[in-house]
Amino acid sequence: MRSLVSFVVLLFVAVVSAISTTGNRLLVVLEDVAEKEGYSKFLGDLEGRGFKLSIETPKSESLSLFHLGERAYDHVILFPTKGKGPNLTANLLLQFFGANGNILLTLSSGAATPSALVSLLTELDIQLPADRTGLVVDHFNYDSTSAPDTHDVLLLPAPGPLRSDIKDIFSAGAPANELIAFPHGVGAALGASELLSPILRAPSTAYSYNPKEQSEAVVDDLFATGEQLALISTFQARNSARFTLVGAAELFQDKWFDADVKKTGGKAVKTFNREFAKRVSGWTFQEIGVLRVNWIEHHLSEVGASNESNPKIYRIKNDVTYTISLSEWSWDTWNAFAVPKNDALQLEFSMLSPFHRLPLTHDAKQSNAEQAAYTSSFKLPDQHGIFNFKVNFKRPFLTNVEEKNTVSVRHMAHDEWPRSFVISGAWPWIAGIGATVTGWLAFCALWMYSGPVGGKKESKKTQ
């Protein structure tokens, strides 16, 4: 029955879902509407994936992120602009972000970042140079065709996963002979927030400086160097809303999609920009890396028990089984979620602190192509009270999974304890009680049936 319900739910979701799990209303903000011609391929790809684009300028009177207290758009792309608009303040953008809206912000070294966006980045623990602009150059990893003198068009390989236990989203399947062109970009410094994750870092030979104030030959005040510079970074909030900062808006321009680039002394190769732009925007707009909990079940796993699904009360020392079903959205379909290698999905059974922290293993019998079931069986602790089955799975580039099911655990009833003669540890005490009773009965028998010692003596009469 549960399999039938799951199939119906998955079929319904597949029919009504947009390409993005959070909607398809996309606002594109440009300094001038005519600039959209330079991003025609990128915007065309977005429309081809099912998004409904609304193109506005920062000072447009019709621009509003909210309508009647609700989001007017599901996603926002902010291309470099020279001025700030009254409806794109840091406070409004944070409200949009807090209302599960997704934001893709792009920068350029040719335009100073508006103060409202700098304030927004500061709230997210992302720092830009003090002058709100900068230029990242690398004298070893640059395009010798378009930037033979300035070295400000960086050529970088597709970024791999941050760690071995994180799913590879942005470089999986990337051709080995293609490079990402990062032209005229701005680098950012990331804070220590656990919600921040870099997608693309600068090479160790790169650095950032302000070309308007300093000569490239004499650079004495660097903002950051090497891997301190995050060229593309992300921030995923606790509500799973996503924010992506791309330091080079030109990365999305038509001229860099499938362009020919060449490192010094190397061969000309195609850029990976088009596919990389698709993956970055797809992640930002929740087309990939989205997890969903299909169902959760916990029950007794004891012989002779009713094994009712999801009971509200258990007894101490019961054997129980917990199972959770997960799916992952990938572009246009729900697939079974596979836990990355070297990672683990864990279950906590806790009161104020965990009494058990157990790995959830894949259950092939309850899994299929659209969902994966993970299960764990264990014995409840010898402690009564209010407990929680809790799964807290938060990883970079995947939406958060935080599920909590509260149950009561009662103590043993009087008729549920085993008889004392079954417990081997009680045998000495039972033997002591038996010896005491036997001795007392023997003493009483001897007292009652034993006569006095000797005959009766006659008393002498006094004359």
Q: What pLDDT digit, counting tens, does each position of 277-318 carry?
A: 999 999 999 999 999 999 999 999 888 777 788 999 999 999
Q: Which residue did the predictor score with more confidence, 340 or 459?
A: 340
Q: Which residue did the predictor score with more confidence, 15 or 340?
A: 340
Say whether pLDDT at 16 is over 60: no
3-state secondary structure of 186: coil
- Residue pair 137/151 in contact by the 8 Å Cβ criterion: yes
Ordered by start, the domain boundaries in the chain are 17-286, 290-415
Tokens of 153: 């068009």
Picking from 244, 239, 282, the residue whose alpha carbon sits closest to that of residue 400 is: 239
Say whether pLDDT at 2 is over 70: no
**Mean pLDDT value across residues 261-274:** 90
pLDDT digits (tens, 9 = 90+) for 387-437: 999 999 999 999 999 999 999 999 988 877 777 778 888 889 999 999 999
Say whether pLDDT at 12 is over 50: no
Say whether pLDDT at 455 is over 70: no
Domain 17-286 has CATH 3.40.50: yes
Q: Residue 98 phi/psi, 5° resolution?
A: -70, -20
The pLDDT of residue 5 is: 47
Tally of CB atoms within 10 A around 58 = 19
Tokens of 264: 């010094």
The pLDDT of residue 174 is: 84
Q: Tell me if 17-286 shares its fold with 290-415.
A: no
- The residues near 371 (Cβ < 8 Å, ≥ 6 apart) are 6, 10, 294, 325, 326, 327, 334, 336, 337
Quickly tell me which residue has 């979620």 as its tokens: 337
**Mean pLDDT value across residues 441-462:** 74
- For 290-415, give the CATH class: mainly beta
Mean pLDDT computed over every residue of the chain: 89
Q: Which residue did the predictor score with more confidence, 346 or 110?
A: 346
Q: Which residue did the predictor score with more confidence, 160 or 10?
A: 160
Vertex 439: Cα angle to 433 and 444 (nearest 5): 125
- Residue pair 147/155 in contact by the 8 Å Cβ criterion: no
Q: Which residue did the predictor score with more confidence, 50 or 460?
A: 50
Tokens of 33: 């509407």
Q: Which residue did the predictor score with more confidence, 131 or 121?
A: 121
The pLDDT of residue 177 is: 84
